[in-house]
Amino acid sequence: MTEPTSTKPYMVRAIHEWCIDNNMTPHLLVAVDSHTRVPIAYVKDGEIVLNLSYGATKDLQMDNDAVVFSARFGGNSQNLYVPMHAVKGIFARESGQGMFFEVVQVPLDENALKRSDESPESKKKVTNIKKPMLTIVK
């Protein structure tokens, strides 16, 4: 019997939808690592908080492997890639309500280094992502 997929991406999408339905601003807390593509100038203590509202993002896609979108930082548009293993939490800015997760460190695959000029989609195929543990914070 195969192991079931992680519940984490489903919870991230659900909390995002809940925030939008309640006119709140969804924010994503991310542990930045070598697999994550975010503007480094905005990273503090190895983390970044990203606004995931539809007004702040363009082409937002959340699948079981990653959160991918474009956003403006300092007036410049940037393409962001957040692998699901790097998501520490998703919450409403206005209330702080949401869900937070344990982050498991994923070692960088040697092949990923050799293909650093390829798209994020190709990189996620060469990572060995361990299953995260889910922690609910009230």
Cα separation, 126 vs 54, in Å, equals 30
The 3-state DSSP composition of the chain as helix, strand, coil percent (nearest 5) reads 20, 35, 45
pLDDT at 109: 52
Please, which residues bridge with residue 98 across strands? 91
User: Is the CB of residue 126 less than 8 Å from the CB of residue 96?
Assistant: no
Instruction: Say whether 34 sits in a helix, a strand or coil.
Output: coil
For residue 1, name the pLDDT band (cuts at 50, 70, 90).
confident
Look at residue 27 and tell me whether its pLDDT is greater than 70: yes
Average pLDDT over residues 31-40: 96
* 58 or 132, greater pLDDT: 58
Q: For 63-87, what is each residue's pLDDT tens digit?
A: 999 999 999 999 999 999 999 999 9
Architecture of the structural domain at 8-133: Roll (2.30)
Look at residue 122 and tell me whether its pLDDT is greater than 80: no
What global pTM score does this model have? 0.76
